[in-house]
Chain A
Amino acid sequence: MTDETTGASAPDQPIRRKTPPATPMVQAWLDGEETRDHLATADEQETAELWTRINSEAAQLRKRNTPIHVQSRILNSLTDLPAVPDPPAETGFKLTTATAVIGGIVILAIGAILGFMLVR
């Protein structure tokens, strides 16, 4: 996975914090593991207020759907493509009834020849 400290769009400068980072309780609340009632301190409540606003904005983004013309555009672009190729054929040996019968006959023939030669 990507190194989390060296992303391509890493900040130009270190991020300076005005307040302490979200407490484990705030993180648990944001993860849905705790209710907001469990945020005891004023700092936690202030942080929760900020995250309520951020989550509300994120929820707006969540409502966005693919523009209708995009699905049509994708489907139209497929018509210019050749039919999708079949998956690569298996290259391993497959034992069928015919190959088993032929193989058996060959082994019997070789055995018969060797036996005939030994007897002579």
Chain B
Amino acid sequence: MQWRMFHVPLHLFLQNGAVMRINLKLFATFRVGRFSAEAREYPPGTPVAAVIRDLRIPEEQIGMIMLNNRHAEPDQQLHEGDNLALFPLVGGG
């Protein structure tokens, strides 16, 4: 089971064995060594930041978080069926 490697607090599992399914999408360099799009399961109430940690992406490399087509912040909690996308910083001209 993939969730064993997640960096999420154990008490979330103990309180509630349920999981929610999140559709993840990564952009540009974040795809390298990871994936383009993947559905993953997390305990209910997992914040965006925990998913970023789970993916081992340093937070300062995150340009933008998109949750269900809207800009989001790391402390936002995820819900069943959410579409979460992570974009790296782009700054060239």
Co-complex (A, B): no
Where the two chains meet, the residues of A that have a C-beta atom closer than 8 Å to any C-beta of B are none
Interface residues of B (CB under 8 A from A): none
